[in-house]
Every structure is written in structure tokens, then in C-alpha cells.
Amino acid sequence: MTTTEPNQSDLAAEQLRDAMVQHLIELGAARDPRVIAAFRAVLRHLATPDVDVAKAYDAEFAAVTKTDATGVDISSVSAARVQAMQIEQARIQPGMTILEIGSGGPNAAYLAEMVGADGRVITMDIDPDVTARATGFLQAAGYRNVTVLTADAENGAPDQGPFDRIVVTVQAADIPPAWMHQLKEGGRLIVPLRMRGMTRTVAFVREGDRLVSDGFELCGFVPMQGAGENRVRLAVLHDVEDEEIALRLDGHPEPDARALAEALHSPRATVWSGVTLGGSESNEHLDLWLTTALDNLPLMAAKPGARKRGLVTSASPLGVPTLVDGGSLAYRTVRATDAEDRYELGAIGHGPHGRGLAERLASEIRTWDREHRNDQARIEVHPAGTPDDRIPAGRRIERRHTRITITWP
């Protein structure tokens, strides 16, 4: 009997995979022993042969696999941390039938590990290049309980359901009726849902004709394509290379971009809230509170060059909540405090009403700290046309298929 010794590249990949899993455990992204085992098993580097193996096993690295004609990312293999986070949210059991919307390969393999030999995974994508790549990876990695479909996920996969779980790996602004109808009662839908510009991967549970949140996490995903495509619009305020500043509009009123551009070059008014965060604390619940409480609060995206030049003091790839009123604006910011690894929240305003807007933003930060800091919002999704008296009071987001509400205890 002969045995085949693993070669050096296989051993190196295994060591990198073990290190990635250990990092996922330390981050708290992978907690369930079955999730940990799944991430130890999948040879994710086979899905991105053009990427350095060490990079493929970087827990925070998302490999962009396709861009559109304008350079916007439209397909990727998500970072392992985000994949683990979503799979933890899904609470998958052996023998389940899972629909994955947005293919790539490795995530379907993780799902296949979770459901086991008696379960099924259906992964679908609108782009034949993506599904061809996913098919090649799954065959090379030896997964036989995964079906790959090339189709617009707006209609789900009616011939393959109903599903115990639906895991969406692209940013969605709406929930198509097919996803609800093909999900079993009590089933879980995990979806990166964009609400007023802010994206959270939400774990929803189906309760009759509505979806009710059971937790959410901060995330970033490439946008949905096809019939469900609904991208944010940009209102450019500063258009200098490497210093671009723009507002991301998602149902917000059309701003006076010219006046706001002038305001950005006017003296700033700074208001501090007295509320502090630890260095490892996330702003995700605060920002969701702000968009619940304030009407015209788009996100301001700014390149690092804009901050370096002093045009803005905060720049985030996900955008910074910015209160807008006519030709004035105010955005959330932070500063270091005397306490180690602790930062104070505040607001910076520009324009004729900049100080008033900054004071209002700081006031809502204090309200969040006083009344909701230890709370998590409840997000519900109801079919479009649901009467107001059947929907909870709170921030309502009207989409083509659904009425989404954000409420707080």
C-alpha cells in the first residue's frame, strides 16, 4: 500500500488556514464548533487562484473577482470573517436545505459542510462567469451536495425549495416576495439589507407574512444586480482626485450640492456630546439610532485625501452619518480623550445653520447614550400594501416589495 505525502504548498495552505480559523475565533466571528470545523475544512484558496495563498487566508480580505464598466465591484469572494458571521447568524443544522443568493464558491462549501451529506445547498447568481467559477471550485474541492444555478435571484429557486435557510451574500435594498414565500415558517433569512444607506447583515425569522429581526451585524457587500438592483445615488460635493467627497442618497431628499460644497469650505462649528466609546466599540447601533431619529441623514463618503487636506475630519469607507438642511450640514466625528483607548463623540457643522445641526446631532447622540445604548433595534419587513395599523410605529422605509420598519425598545 502506498501513501501520498502532502507537498509543501499543501502544508503551507493548511497552516495558513489554521491561523485564519484561530483569528476568526479570537474575533468572535466563529463560535459554534461546527462553524469552526467547516472553516478548517474548506480549501478556499482554490477559488481565487490569482490571489496569493496567504492573502486568501487573511480573515479580513475580500477578493474582488469582477468589476463593471465603471470600475464598481460587482462580484467578490467575501472576507472569511463576514462569511463566518453570516453562517453563525443562520444557525444551520445537519440535513437542512439552504439557498445561497450570490455565488462565489467557498461560502457554498462552508454551507455544505454545515448541512452534511443529508442536506442540500443551492447557490445561485445572475452572472454566468460567477457561476462557472463557483462550479469549477466546488468540483475541484469535491462538493457533491451543492447545486449551482445561473438565474436572477429576484424569483428565488421555486423548484428547489422550500428552504430552511436563505443566505444572501449581496447587498439588497428590498426583499422580493419569492424569498419570503420560499422560506419555511420559522426559517431564517440572512441578508445584507440596506436601510437609508446603512447596510447591516440582518438575521430575520419568518413569522407568517412578515420577517422579524433576530440580531444584525455591520457589513459591506457588492450590490444586487438584475431586477432587484437599487443602488445609492451620489451627490458630489468635492470632485478633486484623491479628495472626493459625496453624499450617498438612499431615499433622502435631493440636496443642494452646490451650496453644500461651498459650506464645506466655510468655517466649522464643533459640538462635543460628552458621550464616549471604547476603542473596540462599534458605532453600528448608534448610527442606526441616528437614522431612525433624524429625517435627512445621508452618509458622507470621503477619500482619505480629503481628511488629510482638512476638508473633513472623519472619513469611512462605509460613510459617516451627515445631517443636511439646505446649504448646511453636520457630520458625526470623534476625538481622543485623556482616558486610554477612549474617544468622545461629537459633530462638526458647516454652513449658515451648521452649528444648530451639530447641536442637534450631538443631542441625539446623548439620547442614544441615555435611552438606547444597551438596546438593539428591532427591524421588521412587511409586504408592500400592508396597512399602517399593522406596522409598528418607528422609522419606515418604503420599497417596491416591502415596508421596512426600525423600532427601539
Calpha distance 14→369 (Å, rounded): 45
Q: What mean pLDDT do residues 224-248 have?
A: 88
Residues 198 and 92 in one domain: yes
Residue 397 within any structural domain of the chain: no
Q: How confident is the model at residue 241 (pLDDT cuts 50, 70, 90)?
A: confident
**Between 52 and 223, the higher pLDDT residue:** 52
Question: Residue 231 gets which letter from DSSP?
Answer: P
Residues 196 and 249 in one domain: no
**Secondary structure in 3-state letters for 126-138:** CCHHHHHHHHHHH
Residue 295 within any structural domain of the chain: yes
Asked if residue 64 has pLDDT above 90, the reply is no
CB 407 within 8 A of CB 378: yes
Q: Compute the mean pLDDT over every residue in the chain, rounded to the nearest whole number.
A: 92
Residue 350 within any structural domain of the chain: yes
Q: How confident is the model at residue 136 (pLDDT cuts 50, 70, 90)?
A: very high
Residues 201 and 307 in one domain: no
Q: Which residues pair with 183 in a beta bridge?
A: 163
Q: How confident is the model at residue 63 (pLDDT cuts 50, 70, 90)?
A: confident
Residues 337 and 255 in one domain: yes
Q: What mean pLDDT do residues 22-36 have?
A: 96
Residues 268 and 287 in one domain: yes
Q: Which residues pair with 16 in a beta bridge?
A: none
Residue 85 within any structural domain of the chain: yes
**Contact partners, residue 316, CB within 8 Å, separation at least 6:** 301
> For this structure, is 78 an active site residue?
yes
* β-sheet with 269-278: strand ranges across: 233-238, 245-249, 299-302, 320-325, 328-336, 342-350, 269-278
Residues 172 and 68 in one domain: yes
3-state secondary structure of 151: coil
Residues 162 and 141 in one domain: yes
For the four alpha carbons of 308, 313, 314 and 320, in that order, the dihedral sign comes to negative
**Res 72: pLDDT:** 56
Residues 165 and 252 in one domain: no
Residue 406 within any structural domain of the chain: no
**Contact partners, residue 28, CB within 8 Å, separation at least 6:** none
For the four alpha carbons of 176, 179, 182 and 183, in that order, the dihedral sign comes to negative
* Given the residues 76, 78, 213, 273, the one annotated as active site: 78
Residue 74 within any structural domain of the chain: yes
Domain edge (last residue) among 207, 228, 249: 228
CB 331 within 8 A of CB 237: no
Calpha distance 189→202 (Å, rounded): 8
CATH at residue 84: 3.40.50.150
Calpha distance 109→294 (Å, rounded): 42
Report the b/e string of 181-193 with b at 16+ CB within 10 A: ebbeeebbbbbbb
Domain edge (last residue) among 171, 193, 228: 228
**Res 9: pLDDT:** 72
Residues 79 and 220 in one domain: yes
Structural domains in the chain (count): 2
Residue 196 within any structural domain of the chain: yes
**Res 7: pLDDT:** 59
Q: What pTM was computed for the model?
A: 0.91
Asked if residue 276 has pLDDT above 80, the reply is yes
- Going by their DSSP bridges, the two strands 146-150 and 120-125 should be labelled as parallel
Residues 222 and 249 in one domain: no
Residues 222 and 295 in one domain: no
3-state secondary structure of 311: coil
Domain that holds residue 280: 233-372
Residues 153 and 106 in one domain: yes
What angle is formed at CA 320 by the lines to CA 197 and CA 252, rounded to 5 degrees?
A: 35
Radius of gyration of the chain (CA): 22
Residue 92 within any structural domain of the chain: yes
